[in-house]
A and B are shown apart, each in its own frame.
Chain A
Amino acid sequence: MSATSIGTSEFPKQGQEEVNYLNYDHTLRSWLTTGDHKRIAILYLISTTFIFFLGSLAAGMIRFELTSPAGVVLESETYNKVFSSHGVIMVFFFLVLALPATLGNFLLPLMIGARDLAFPRLNLGSWYLYMVGAALMLSGLIFGGIDTGWTFYTPYSSMYSNTQVSLVIIGIFFSGFSSITTGINFIVTTHKMRAPGMTWFRLPLFVWALYATSVIVILGTPVIAITLLLVVFERLFHLPIFSPELGGDPVLFQHLFWFYSHPAVYIMILPAFGIESELIANFARKRIFGYHFVAFSTIAIAGLGFLVWGHHMFVSSQSMYEGLVFSLISFLVAVPSAIKIFNWTATLYKGNIRLQSPMIYALGFIGLFTVGGLTGLFLGSVGTDVHLTATYFVVAHFHYVMVGGTMMAFLGGLHYWWPKMTGRMFNDGIAKWNAVLVFVGFNLTFFPQFIVGWLGMPRRYHYYYFAPEFQPYNIMSSLGASALALGFLLPAFYLTASLFNGPKAGSNPWGAHGLEWETSSPPPVTNFLETPIVTDEVYDFDPVSEYEQLRAAQDLLDEGGNPGGSY
């Protein structure tokens, strides 16, 4: 542990409540004008949670509608708007920024020992950009909705759809710039704000992941911003770029769209990898196995991820040769992902594993991401993709990655750092069972979709009365979705409840390792009262050392009435 930050001078006086980032000022104005990365993270957490439940509501309607082959309540037009809203909300307004902007924003400076991000006002600005984008998008959904799917394929989106495509796209444009500003902030912070002694290979793997994510964001997002803008221009001013009637090529839109949107998948999953590494190392009480390999595989995924977008277009009349090239590179991405899975598994060996709720999520992540990743091979393989493209197999695959991967890691990370963010402990017993519920509900929801997709059920279909053999799987899936919904709702309740009646968490309730656990919970406004100097390696656990016992003693001390928890 950093030697300097453990000093007696930092103990708060007994009985005096410590000033932290949450309580130094209670006005709404102080929240809305804050430059503090921790407060902005909380703002993001509240807004993305709201957005997430909106998107989940749409998902629930989809699943309800699909229980019957001829639909239940919705008209086709409404159904199309519902699934488009689900996609747009979840992809552009939740997944691409949920992890970086909430947990990343909160933790990046803490983990590297900085007082704040490099550009606090830019950080606040990015939240406002996000809110403006979300407001535009939601107003688009309210005043007519969109029925293009989240992919906005031309010429349907540019010449045929009679819905609020332009408004929603402009919302996405804003949200994209919110991501870009956050990305710039993270890159500069990681490069320039690390505490003394915090070398690149002492960085926690979450920081590596955030860095790689940010690089993808700043290189990819502008491309989709301009591409979607061209769609808007095509709609509003009939600026002909992707319309075949004037010589444009609709497939060019798909190229440019996926040039961002495939790397965007890695924007969503890389932070989850980072969180996963943190959780596995800290709950197995062991340094992550093959730290360098995991770190470099993060960068490799980020780089290779930019070269594989064409695998979304194997049947889109792209040239056959291009398809083969993209397929080959897609298979190569499988390798760094495999490295990560194996390294996490190997970390468990000779660990001292605590099965607390974040660890349950982390173990669930390994299982679900393994399935999600391996089924990706079916879609990356240019031959097998022909039959499976745009069926429920694809839907199941990316939900295994996005929900089974990103959401599991997000929940795990949220539970793990909740005491740090709020200073309160939640009920770990409920949380553990909730993790199991999410795991089971998730599998029940999405595993049947692999089979029904393999049978050939196309995605985005409202009816399947002509193929009643799809029904049993859809019913299973909808049942699972109910369980999953419960699994997502419960944390909202028990985590919120912990704010009021949760026991105070010490500075390090999990006995974890990392700079963020060196400061009090919740952290002071400037994160550290004194700039920490890093002298030890990352995840420097020894499963059987005295450190362990020391830590246990510390836990006891915390429970015994050291409210601030700083030591």
Chain B
Amino acid sequence: MAGAHAEPLAHGHDHGHDEALHHQFEDIGQQNESYLVGMWTFLVTEVMFFGALFFTYTLYRLNYQYDFWVAHEHLDWKLGAFNTTVLLFSSFTMVMAVQSAQLKKRSHVMRYLEITVACAFIFLGVKYVEYSSKFADHLYPGISFSTDPKVFGEHGFVNGVPMVNMNHAQLFYGLYFGMTGLHAVHIIVGIGVLTALWRLWKNHAKSVTVDYVPTELVGLYWHFVDLVWIFLFPLMYLMPTPH
């Protein structure tokens, strides 16, 4: 490339960051801030991305409260609560990884990242168990969605008369699979990103070890995934009985 870098105008951090500094930035501080703002603007788009789904859910939930409540009885809140705990804990380990990166404790970073990835796998495992029970009862939306209110146990009936509109129940499961599925896709992407980060740390790559910000960016993403679940859990699993 032609052209040399001009002298940084603002006072730079003379920490030997040059190898991690990209040519378009004046100094590592500018680069880090750019990364952070970039990540946050990306998270804004993610908020809107999930937001449309959350809105759709809210709308149909308000309209079909009773049917949604009956449909949600098939979900196991205990598994949901367990998964919430797992994700919260993984957020904690992630933030500890970032803190270790700040303190340049490489082995700690790797340890915490490993735990985080493990948590992600546990989460997905539990999700698999949940999904398979829905599939077993034909509660996935589509042509073979169950027409039998009995899948919801006694909640579908009052005095032996079926009380649930299975079309609306299908709507609920459409949203359930849509939202938790999209969240799971984010978890899977997160596992990929975390693993890549772990490898970079393992290989002493300058791009992550010189400054903690790349690690923090992954952390921001991971916390966002956690954030989505924080709202999904009460909305999907913890519906109060309508009366």
A touches B (Cβ under 8 A)? yes
- Which residues of B have CB within 8 Å of A221? 45
Distance in Å: Cβ of A267 to nearest Cβ of chain B: 14
Judge whether B24 is part of the interface by a CB distance below 8 angstroms.
yes
B174 to A239, Cβ gap below 8 A?
A: yes
Distance in Å: Cβ of A247 to nearest Cβ of chain B: 5
Distance in Å: Cβ of A140 to nearest Cβ of chain B: 23
B141 to A239, Cβ gap below 8 A?
A: yes
- Which residues of A have CB within 8 Å of B23? 115-116, 526
Distance in Å: Cβ of B134 to nearest Cβ of chain A: 14
CB-CB contacts of A220-261 with B at 8 A, as 1s and 0s? Answer: 111101110010010001111100011111001000100100
- Which residues of B have CB within 8 Å of A239? 141-142, 174, 177-178
Which residues of A from 429 to 451 have beta carbons under 8 Å from B? none
CA A19 – CA B3 in complex, angstroms?
9
A226 to B53, Cβ gap below 8 A?
A: yes
A526 to B165, Cβ gap below 8 A?
A: no
Which residues of B from 32 to 70 have beta carbons under 8 Å from A? 33-34, 37-38, 41-42, 44-46, 48-53, 55-56, 59-60, 63-64
Which residues of A from 203 to 226 have beta carbons under 8 Å from B? 218-223, 225-226
Judge whether B133 is part of the interface by a CB distance below 8 angstroms.
no
A240 to B141, Cβ gap below 8 A?
A: yes
- Which residues of B have CB within 8 Å of A226? 49-50, 52-53
B171 to A246, Cβ gap below 8 A?
A: yes
B6 to A218, Cβ gap below 8 A?
A: no
A237 to B141, Cβ gap below 8 A?
A: yes
Judge whether B129 is part of the interface by a CB distance below 8 angstroms.
no
CB-CB contacts of B199-241 with A at 8 A, as 1s and 0s? Answer: 0000000000000000000000000000000000000000000
Judge whether B73 is part of the interface by a CB distance below 8 angstroms.
no
CA A187 – CA B171 in complex, angstroms?
38
Closest Cβ neighbor of A526 among chain B residues: B3
- Which residues of A have CB within 8 Å of B3? 524-526, 529
B174 to A241, Cβ gap below 8 A?
A: yes
Which stretch, A188-196, A352-360, A374-382, touches the partner chain B?
A188-196
Give the number of residues in B that approach A within 8 Å (Cβ atoms). Answer: 44
CA A203 – CA B73 in complex, angstroms?
57
Judge whether B2 is part of the interface by a CB distance below 8 angstroms.
yes
B171 to A240, Cβ gap below 8 A?
A: yes
- Which residues of B have CB within 8 Å of A143? none
- Which residues of B have CB within 8 Å of A191? 34, 37
Task: For B48, give its contact among A184, A196, A222, A247 (CB under 8 Å).
Answer: A222
- Which residues of A have CB within 8 Å of B22? 120
Most buried by B among A184, A247, A524: A247
Q: A239-B178, A241-B174, A247-B171 are in contact. Are A188 and B24 (CB under 8 A)?
A: no
Distance in Å: Cβ of A3 to nearest Cβ of chain B: 14
Distance in Å: Cβ of A488 to nearest Cβ of chain B: 33
CA A248 – CA B24 in complex, angstroms?
49
B41 to A188, Cβ gap below 8 A?
A: yes
A525 to B56, Cβ gap below 8 A?
A: no
B42 to A184, Cβ gap below 8 A?
A: yes
B167 to A247, Cβ gap below 8 A?
A: yes
CA A196 – CA B108 in complex, angstroms?
40
Distance in Å: Cβ of A255 to nearest Cβ of chain B: 9
A526 to B167, Cβ gap below 8 A?
A: no
Judge whether B143 is part of the interface by a CB distance below 8 angstroms.
yes
Judge whether A117 is part of the interface by a CB distance below 8 angstroms.
yes
Which residues of A from 107 to 154 have beta carbons under 8 Å from B? 109, 114-120
Judge whether B107 is part of the interface by a CB distance below 8 angstroms.
no
Task: For B37, give its contact among A188, A222, A237, A524 (CB under 8 Å).
Answer: A188
A252 to B59, Cβ gap below 8 A?
A: yes
Which residues of B from 53 to 111 have beta carbons under 8 Å from A? 53, 55-56, 59-60, 63-64
Judge whether A313 is part of the interface by a CB distance below 8 angstroms.
no
- Which residues of A have CB within 8 Å of B64? 247
Task: For A225, give its contact among B1, B49, B178 (CB under 8 Å).
Answer: B49
A sample of 5 inter-chain contacts (CB < 8 A) reads A24-B2, A180-B42, A193-B34, A218-B45, A526-B23
Residue numbers of A with Cβ under 8 A of B are 19, 24, 109, 114-120, 180, 183-185, 187-189, 191-193, 196, 218-223, 225-227, 230, 233, 237-241, 245-249, 252, 256, 259, 524-526, 529-531, 533
A-B contacts besides A222-B48, A225-B49, A241-B178, 13 pairs, CB < 8 Å: A115-B24, A116-B23, A119-B38, A184-B42, A193-B34, A218-B41, A219-B48, A222-B51, A239-B178, A246-B168, A526-B1, A526-B2, A530-B6
* Ranked 8 nearest A-B pairs via Cβ: A222-B49, A526-B3, A116-B24, A222-B48, A246-B167, A531-B6, A239-B174, A192-B34
